[in-house]
Structure 1
Amino acid sequence: MNPLSVVWLARELITFKTITPKEEGIFDLIQSLFPGFEVVRADKEGVKNLFLYKRLGASDNPLHFCFAGHIDVVPAGESWSVDPFGGVIKDGFLYGRGAQDMKGGVAALLCAVHDFCRQENSPDAILSILLTSDEEGQALYGTQYMLEVLQEQNLLPHFALVAEPTSAKTLGDSVKLGRRGSISGQIVVHGICGHVAYPKTCLNPIDLIADKLMHISGALLDKGDDFFAPSKLVITTLKSVSQASNVTPQILEIYFNVRNSPLTSAEHIQKFLDTILAKVPCDIELTTNSKPFLSSQDSPLAMQTKRAILDTLQITPEFNTKGGTSDARFLHAFGVEVVEFGLLNDRIHALDERVSLSDLEKLRQVFLRLLHLMLKD
């Protein structure tokens, strides 16, 4: 294996227009870089997944370390100053959709694995890479499905690092040990439509809930803890349609989302709403999209990730659970010790998404140092 340039690879990955769940042949390129690795591909419902692994050493019960990530991206949108899939380099930055989230991180982990396998004195371990094309979408047939396949083949890793963009202001300042959950909800308030000039014949659903909204919108459902922010109910949509400007509506629909800590569940939210809306004719529907989870900050992976960042960047990261959801939740559910660490996230999903060329190289070095700490030291 010849050395692999992280900037070149990140640039190449960006040129693949892999809008969820399209894969566009990017896995063929990645697979070609690792001719000595065994390959598992599992595709379902238009989602493609790739698992590359190599057995190092001769142990019958080796430690299995995995880098995980996704190659799919959100749509680019309009008004970019450069081609979002052109891999443009300008003023020390690589521009493109996915530069931060997360083709830059994927390029860094691929290069780190590539470099590690070039070195002599291989440890007794399994080193693997798990990639999906459906993290930005519904995530039904991506990492979650692939882990089911790997479990059947006795290939589940012991430890996994997901290279999501976790850094806030400086590369290395933040490592995620877990994530909040996500619960979506709908409240449908039922009224009786009628002419506004005859209010006694109407039952306006907007009036029925108007004085209750202040108790629901922005409500803090718990106080949080050392790792989780308080769970907050955020109303995202209020929708009511009238037949005419002088006719009251029949129903009012309210949509909301709660990013919840382990202190709040769907059952807690149901009881909270039932109490406030006890006298309001309405239906309440809740959907748990993902559950909160937290890895131990004293686990070998968390401690060695912290050490790799400190050794390479001279920064001590903060452990936290900030942000939205990620595929780390699936790894945790399968009993895999998991943390997330990667590039800055200040421009993810935004116009002119970009990554510093120096940060790409630094991230590669952190990942390579982590492999040494986890598998050799």
Structure 2
Amino acid sequence: MATDPLPIAQALIRCPSVTPADAGALDVVQRLLEPLGFGCERLVFGPDDYRVDNLFARRGSGGPHFCYCGHTDVVPPGDLAAWSDDPFAAVVRDGVLYGRGACDMKGGVAAFIAGLTDYLAAKPDHRGSISLLITGDEEARSVDGTARVLEWMQQNGQIPDMALVGEPTSRRVLGDTIKIGRRGSLTAWVNVHGKQGHSAYPAGADNPIHRLVAALAPLLAAPLDNGSEFFPPTTLQVTGLDVGNTTSNVIPAAARAMINIRFNDLHSSAALTERLHAALKAAGCRYEMRTECSGESFVTQPGPFVDGLSRAITRATGEVPKLDTGGGTSDARFIARYCPVAEFGAVGETPHQVNERASVEELRRLADAYRMILEEALG
């Protein structure tokens, strides 16, 4: 490689950009992109006490339009005494880069910029457009980051034809996994009302615990589905159950439950919400329920975009990547509303851990992979 991602990654790590602080991280990115011919827009969203800095940069105006998406915010380092080095010093030892964000995902952003630089040196007259959406609000609220920037992009005619999120998706070795989708996540908070009474005289009471258990039992008795082509079965977990009762001989007046459903592409959050309502009504519950969906399930079907990613990754790493939809949620859930999206990045062994780290050699190979991905996408 002509361009080394290591000094870029070190410069980013040395910015202590714990969400929502930017600490100069996006300035580093902007200073590298502008000499390459990118027009940069800094987009700041959020309330006065939680301002989030985001960057959208684009080179070219025609199609196809390829967008790389990432984040420069990081989680807090935690116990500083547990780190071998200052988490923001970006120390390299024995071929390994240490620091908060080395894996998730300042190393990935650096690798893309390095790969992009080499691609443009070889293909200054490339067809189409290249853009970067880099947010400072991925690790926390995820409200004033990628989702808001995408709204701005749509309003300004900047929606890409395809997008790649650089999260650390590789499992064992670089290149073994591409994420082409994610499960949806629905959380429900249920409050079932009953009638308080003495446990020795239950006929004069209405036990809300019994009704809540009766509502939950059929939901837990059998799987909600058997999975689909690219997804495992949907899972429903009761993650909280509380009555606030400290007395053994009192039937409480209310019972509360918290439920989380991780669902595949056979369901929508609206349909699952109705299923919960039906179960509660069937058990005769008097209740209130509040639900929140952090993201619907989505999948990018194999085709030219995904096939091109696979070819490039195999060329760069020698691995034939598995198409996967596992894990939690990512900012790809927002992007999927607008265009095909996939995720590919470093081996995700140490995100959010003490002594977070990334192999320097892996970062350089990742930069090569990103360069080859651009070659596949734009020629």
Global fold match (TM > 0.5): yes
Q: How many residues align?
A: 369
- Match for residue 288 of structure 1? 293
AA at the equivalent of 2:297: P
- Match for residue 17 of structure 1? 16
- Contact 2:71–2:136 (CA under 8 A) maintained in structure 1: yes
Unmatched runs of 5 consecutive residues or more in structure 2:
none
Task: Summarize deviations over 1:58-93 as a string: whole Å, max 9, x none.
Answer: xx7342212110111222222633333232333332
Q: How does 1:157-306 map to 2 (within 5 A)?
A: 157-194=160-197, 196=199, 199-210=202-213, 213-217=216-220, 220-242=223-245, 247-277=250-280, 278-281=282-285, 282-299=287-304, 301-306=305-310
Task: Summarize deviations over 1:267-296 as a string: whole Å, max 9, x none.
Answer: 432443344432342333322221111112
- Contact 2:268–2:297 (CA under 8 A) maintained in structure 1: no
- Contact 2:212–2:255 (CA under 8 A) maintained in structure 1: no
AA at the equivalent of 1:333: R
- Contact 1:181–1:291 (CA under 8 A) maintained in structure 2: yes
AA at the equivalent of 1:209: L
AA at the equivalent of 1:254: A
- Contact 1:209–1:280 (CA under 8 A) maintained in structure 2: no
Q: What is the CA distance between 1:112 and its match in structure 2?
A: 1.1
1:76 aligns with 2:77: yes
Seen in structure 2, the aligned counterparts of structure 1 residues 96 and 248 have a Cα distance that, compared at 3 Å, is farther
1:362 aligns with 2:361: no
AA at the equivalent of 1:54: R
Seen in structure 2, the aligned counterparts of structure 1 residues 28 and 270 have a Cα distance that, compared at 3 Å, is closer
Structure 2 residue matching 1:360: 3-state secondary structure: helix
Q: How does 1:337-348 map to 2 (within 5 A)?
A: 337-348=340-351
Q: What is the CA distance between 1:23 and its match in structure 2?
A: 1.2
Unmatched runs of 5 consecutive residues or more in structure 1:
none
User: Aligned partners of 2:322, 2:191: CA distance in 1, in Å?
Assistant: 41
User: Aligned partners of 1:185, 1:355: CA distance in 2, in Å?
Assistant: 37
1:327 aligns with 2:331: yes
- Match for residue 317 of structure 2? 313
Task: Summarize deviations over 1:23-48 as a string: whole Å, max 9, x none.
Answer: 11211111111233211111111111
Identity %: 36
Q: What is the CA distance between 1:337 and its match in structure 2?
A: 2.4
- Contact 2:77–2:100 (CA under 8 A) maintained in structure 1: yes
Q: What is the CA distance between 1:218 and its match in structure 2?
A: 8.2
User: Aligned partners of 2:18, 2:284: CA distance in 1, in Å?
Assistant: 43
Q: Please identify, of 156-165 and 76-85, the stretch whose mean Cα deviation from structure 2 is larger.
A: 76-85
Structure 2 residue matching 1:27: 3-state secondary structure: helix
TM-score normalized with structure 2 length: 0.89
AA at the equivalent of 1:17: P
1:26 aligns with 2:25: yes
TM-score normalized with structure 1 length: 0.89
Seen in structure 2, the aligned counterparts of structure 1 residues 190 and 355 have a Cα distance that, compared at 3 Å, is same
Q: How does 1:35-114 map to 2 (within 5 A)?
A: 35-36=34-35, 37-45=38-46, 46-55=51-60, 61-78=62-79, 80-82=82-84, 83-114=86-117
User: Aligned partners of 1:276, 1:65: CA distance in 2, in Å?
Assistant: 45
- Measured on the aligned residues, the alpha-carbon RMSD in Å equals 2.4
Structure 2 residue matching 1:48: 3-state secondary structure: strand
Q: Please identify, of 336-345 and 203-212, the stretch whose mean Cα deviation from structure 2 is larger.
A: 203-212
AA at the equivalent of 1:233: L
Seen in structure 2, the aligned counterparts of structure 1 residues 339 and 254 have a Cα distance that, compared at 3 Å, is same
User: Aligned partners of 1:54, 1:44: CA distance in 2, in Å?
Assistant: 23
